[in-house]
Chain A
Amino acid sequence: MSGDRSQPGAQSDGPQGPAPVVRIEAVTHRYGRTEALAEVSLQIPAGRMVGLIGPDGVGKSTLLSLIAGARQMQSGRVEVLGGDMATAAHRARVCPQIAYMPQGLGRNLYPTLSVAENLHFFGRLFGHRTAERERRIDTLLAATGMSPFRDRPAAKLSGGMKQKLGLCCALIHDPELLILDEPTTGVDPLSRRQFWELIDRIRRDRPGMSVITATAYMEEAAGFDWLVAMEAGRVLATGTPSELLARTGAPDLDAAFVALLPDTARRGHQPVAIPPRPASAEIAIEAQHLTKRFGDFTAVHDVSFRIGKGEIFGFLGSNGCGKTTVMKMLTGLLEPSEGTARLFGQKLDHDDMGLRRRVGFMSQSFSLYSELTVRQNLELHARLFGMAPGQIAGRVAQMLDRFGLGGCAGDLPEALPLGVRQRLSLAVAMIHGPEILILDEPTSGVDPVARDGFWRMLGELSREDGVTIFVSTHFMNEAEWCDRISLMHAGRVLVSDTAAAIRESKGAATLDDAFIAYLQEAIAADASPESAVSDGPTAASLPAAAPPRPPRGRAPFSLRRMLSYSQLEMLQLRRDPIRMTMAMLGSLILMFVIGYGINMDVRDLTFAVLDRDRTSTSRDYIADIAGSRYFIERPALESYDELDARMQSGELSLAIEIPPGFARDVARGAPVQIGAWIDGAAPARAGTVEGYVQGMHADWLTRMARRQYGDEAIRGQFELVPRFRYNPDVKSIIAMVPAVIPMLLLMIPAVLTTLSVVREKELGSIINFYVTPVTRLEFLLGKQLPYLLAGAVNFALLMAFAVFAFRVPFTGSLTALSLAALLYLVAATGLGLLISTFMRSQVAALFATVMLTMIPAGQFSGLIDPVSSLQGLGRLIGEIYPTTWFIIASRGAFSKALGFGDFGMVYLALGLAVPVILGLSVLSLRKQAK
């Protein structure tokens, strides 16, 4: 960034002047086989504004995260604020003096939390009391002009505002070292300038603060005190901007950087030169009053433009200003709310397949199929665009050649460098020979050399093939290469003209300055509160010196830091309907399912009789079956064929055949046989039917015998008196429900707790745990607490449901069971924490947690088969798994009338499980990234 700056803190002594704030010696860092940093040695002067420059993927972020202590060291030495960052003690000591803002817009913020909630979260982590937090938050918000947005969720802030909020969060604890990783990438020029002004102001107020920042914008870097140019994990050069320019003799830092590159990296770099456009009157794209609303939000407001055939038309603006929405409307992906878009004079209609063939689109994410090779990607697109099969091979070969992809035709896109992937993406968009190319930020994250190469290709396409190119970008030097450019802000087009004309109209030296002038003008005209603040960024000043700091001595355990995470978790849960349902009602839904599903009562079985005797004796026999509560009689059978057919269709579970002469034979005592056929297709049910039929047959026989012989018939008999204890009616619901409650109280709380930690890992906000004073135990307990509460609510719901809906009698002590449940829930959520320490992705974590809870709880804990009947490993797991003990408690309290006195072993076992599980979790959780 140009423009004069005052750096009161840094009187221009060289890097060797004051003691360096950061000293790096021979640091090497690898991710798998990729070397991110190779033997980097560096001393960063204190009290300066230091910039790391270089394209994406050269190791800037890795270096910054090592300095911040967020990443585990592999080799070498990093000293920050006078101590070795490899030692945990030093990290713990200095982390309250370091602030780290990772790369990505709002990456360490919680999107569903409001601005104030985010700030409170960070404040609590640094141990500030409520009044202290309120005061600091008010000051910071006022200084950054964010006060009007206190209650807006972070997700709904613009890119620039997200970064300001991130900065507020970083500054809440008055750091001495501020580390910013590409804080302005994806932010509009005005917000960018405001951001740096804010940093300048903060540095004026706190002269001792050192700032280290990475950036991909060379214009910004030009205004820094001291620069480190990096490429491929190595430091190319260090020095002030003017030193770098002097050394290379380059006019600007962009050129200086290219000049600093080793020859191999320059890859025959040539400057971009796009010849002037031949005049053409034909209009390729025409937008008239395009407006797009999403609900109340107007993303694009009354946008009109015309683009001539073969023109390169650039689109500039911040993230979220509506550029992508306009592009999607032009490709037909979105239907405009108002207005029309015409391509070649033809109204755009999403269902017009002919028109789609004339357009090529390259979306922000490059949208390649990572599972298809380079060639397959090209072929698929050619086929989908309906190219004749005969032409495809030739066309693909031609594209491979033209875009320099011949050498990697068989590779998967993931294996290619970003610049090559970008060329492939362009080749894919061009495969069907479109006349219009719509490119949405095609050069984001690509190094300057590759970007220049890409623009030379665009120039060729436009000038030689007459392709109309509509391209959006963040880079001002790219904007200069466009025939005309448009600046968008908050859904509106502010200006649309050639670069030269835009500069002239504002009398500005650079395009950047001209745009800022336009933005300020637009904002002044606009009366919305959002703009009012941008207008007066110097509204308030930060407190010059920090007030008496809160005690820095690190308490070994801080309730406030722990609750900070609990509160965060509860707020997030409240705003996520699927997880909330799962937490509150998940168990209930599953209990409903299982309670009715795992039902071993077999009743309402259908049967029919082929009665070939038709006497009172045969009817007596049938009446026994028909009268039982297990069977339902169906119309009688007339023949064997009918019997076969009706059994085959599944209509009958049981068919009985009574032979002719049955009554006569019974009376005579002659041997006779009753036939019974059971449908064996479902063996479990058939087994039960078999038992029922045998029992009823035996009863009938005894009755007949008694009728014939009197009491003589039962001589020498004994009686086996079964006492079905605890569940006299042998109802499976009474047996199952008390055992299912433990399984559900394990699985869902464990899954949710696991996800709460792994989500942070996946989304990147885990960095807050790495770089703030919160300890591992505080973090874990803080995460656990809300799910413990949700578990308790679930326990209450399940109990109520069991007693009132399933009508399972509860005979024991509710208090005793509740105590066991509490211990059990701590163990269950603890198990989730333990699993989460090993998992990285949410999907894997979910899968693992379900497996690790369902299998032991369902098979080894006595839910179905008693633990005493198990053998080997299953028995061992069953004996120690918490579910076993809670099933004993639950069944005891429900059915066996047990209470405190009987639960000694249960309390002991669960009481032991809790510290073991939590201890293991703390030990296996890392407080740094790998």
Chain B
Amino acid sequence: MRARNLWNLGIKELRGLWREPVMLLLIVYSFSLSIYTESKSMPETLADAAIAIVDEDQSALSGRIVSAFTPPYFLTPRMISPDQIDPRMDAGLDTFALHIPPDFERDLLADRHPEIQLNIDATRMTQAFTGSGYVQQIVAAEIAEFTAGHREVTEPAVALALRARYNPALEPGWFGAINSVINAITMLSIILTGAALIREKEHGTVEHLLVMPVTAAEIMLAKIWSMALVVLLASGFAISVVVQMALGVPVAGSVPLFVAAAALMLFATTSMGIFLATVAGTMPQFALLLMLVLMPLQVLSGGMTPRESMPEVIQAIMSLAPDTHFVILSQAILFRGAGLAVVWPQLLALAVIGAALFWLALRQFRRFLG
């Protein structure tokens, strides 16, 4: 293994990438616009939910309730008759149907504890759960205002001071931005190394390298360092310029520590790219394989949904994937401001996974060349 060969081969890879406008465009897009739009478009918990109301009371109170449902949380309520509830919900036209019974206002003021029925299409998870909370709050607030003065007792004066740390307003875009950086790192590092290797094989140039005084390990390491470097610079740019400056997400921890961790992550993912390329052999097969690999990595790593909610088997399998550890570590460093003392287990895991993948890839790479 000689540094000079690594250097020369790596420079060759970089020059090759430079002449590949599609790849460059993909890198630039993934690390800038894609992150920006994804973060900006993270949906608020509830938006434009379709609601229908059956108002059989036709009182002042029911009128207040109807007029309280307004955009952006809800679409303007559609007033329907009771027998329209079922067909409309079956057809998926409404997510919520609020049924205000006859004499609701009178019963309420007479302390008869009337009931309002709220039908929720619970197959629409995103809106069903949070939405029903909103409906409850809106109705309760209107009724409370209406009945103000009617009540004599108060509940105990125990306040709940609820504070979200590290992201006080719980802006979904904050973590969304980081998660898309992580996804871009995984995707590009695998594609860049894998596609570069397959391209070389298709052009017959890999074989040619082997008649020169360079070893398989040198060829592979050169690909790893050069492509990892490109992705690393791009992700550094993404974190400091796109995430911090353009999106205004405050980063609590140390960016250099994050970049160092990203380097370890890249060691693992670029090795994985080479491994997949050697298994696939041709570009279309590689792309098919990529579909089956990237998706689980992105979806099950804990970046999209909380890891602890997944079945234990999946958690166990996914602890072998570099993404899982990198997601944990990025959250800790970037938002909670954690230092080396906190994230060392993840760094260690990344290093071990990276070394294992590198070894596997090198073995497979040698077989691929032979």
Contacts and interface: CB of A to CB of B under 8 A. Distances in A.
The listed residue with most A CB atoms (<10 A of its CB), out of B48, B109, B122, B300, is: B122
Interface string B3-46: 01100110010011011100000000000000000000001010
**Top 6 A-B pairs, shortest CB-CB distance:** A680-B167, A597-B299, A727-B122, A680-B164, A842-B284, A365-B204
Contact of B212 (A385, A723, A738): A385
A721 B117 contact: yes
Interface in A314-372: 328, 331-335, 351, 353-354, 356-357, 359, 361, 363-372
B159 A679 contact: no
B316 interface: no
B166 A679 contact: yes
B260 interface: no
A143 B152 CA distance: 108
Contact of B283 (A367, A701, A842): A842
Interface stretch (B227-235, B236-244, B302-310, B356-364): B302-310
A686 B8 contact: no
Nearest to B343: A649
A690 B162 contact: yes
Contacts of A381: 212
A672 B158 CA distance: 5
A674 B159 contact: yes
A455 to B, nearest CB: 22
A723 B332 contact: no
A843 interface: yes
A363 B211 CA distance: 10
Interface in A619-653: 647-650
A143 B276 CA distance: 46
A602 B306 contact: yes
A717 interface: yes
A369 B205 contact: yes
A383 B8 contact: yes
Interface in A669-707: 669-687, 690-691, 693-694, 697, 701-702, 704-705
A305 interface: no
B58 to A, nearest CB: 17
Nearest to A730: B122
Contacts of A671: 157, 159
A365 B201 CA distance: 11
B256 interface: no
Interface stretch (B181-189, B261-269, B288-296, B347-355): B288-296
Given A648-B336, A724-B122, A891-B123, A603 B170 contact: no
Given A680-B170, A705-B156, A723-B117, A735 B122 contact: yes
A612 B326 CA distance: 36
B155 A866 contact: no
A593 B296 contact: yes
A205 to B, nearest CB: 42
B350 to A, nearest CB: 16
B243 to A, nearest CB: 14
B155 A384 contact: no
Contacts of A335: 370
Contact of B123 (A376, A676, A727, A759): A727
B124 interface: yes
B221 interface: no
Given A676-B162, A869-B47, A869-B48, A356 B212 contact: yes
Q: How large is the interface on B (under 10, 10 to 19, 20 to 34, 35 or more residues)?
A: 35 or more
B83 interface: no
A578 B285 contact: yes
Contacts of A363: 204, 207-208
29 contacts: A333-B211, A334-B370, A353-B213, A356-B213, A364-B204, A369-B12, A369-B16, A384-B8, A386-B4, A578-B289, A582-B291, A586-B291, A589-B292, A596-B314, A648-B336, A650-B336, A679-B165, A680-B335, A683-B167, A684-B175, A687-B130, A690-B164, A691-B133, A712-B152, A718-B116, A722-B118, A728-B122, A850-B291, A866-B95
Interface of B: 4-5, 8-9, 12, 15-16, 18-20, 43, 45, 47-50, 75, 89-95, 104, 108-109, 111, 113-130, 132-133, 135-136, 139-140, 143, 147, 150-153, 155-168, 170-172, 174-175, 203-205, 207-215, 280, 283-285, 287-289, 291-292, 295-296, 299-300, 304-306, 308-311, 314, 328, 331-332, 335-338, 342, 369-370
B118 A721 contact: yes
Contacts of B289: 578
Given A600-B305, A649-B338, A681 B166 contact: yes
A385 B295 CA distance: 42
Most chain B CB atoms below 10 A, which of A586, A605, A648, A670: A648
Interface string A803-816: 00000000000000
Contacts of B314: 596
User: Which of B119, B140, B311: most chain A CB closer than 10 A?
Assistant: B119
Given A726-B121, A842-B287, A600 B336 contact: no
B122 A862 contact: no
Contacts of B203: 365, 367, 369-370
Contact of A597 (B128, B283, B305, B336): B305
B127 A599 contact: no
Given A593-B300, A693-B160, A864-B126, 7 more contacts: A384-B213, A384-B214, A670-B157, A674-B161, A679-B164, A725-B89, A725-B122
B161 A709 contact: no
Contacts of A606: 308
A725 B121 contact: yes
B50 A866 contact: yes
Contacts of A669: 156-157
A445 to B, nearest CB: 14
A869 to B, nearest CB: 4
A582 B292 contact: yes
A615 interface: no
Nearest to A355: B213
B92 A866 contact: yes
A650 B211 contact: no
Contact of B295 (A593, A691, A725): A593
B212 A384 contact: yes
A755 interface: yes
A490 interface: no
Nearest to A351: B215
A720 B162 contact: no
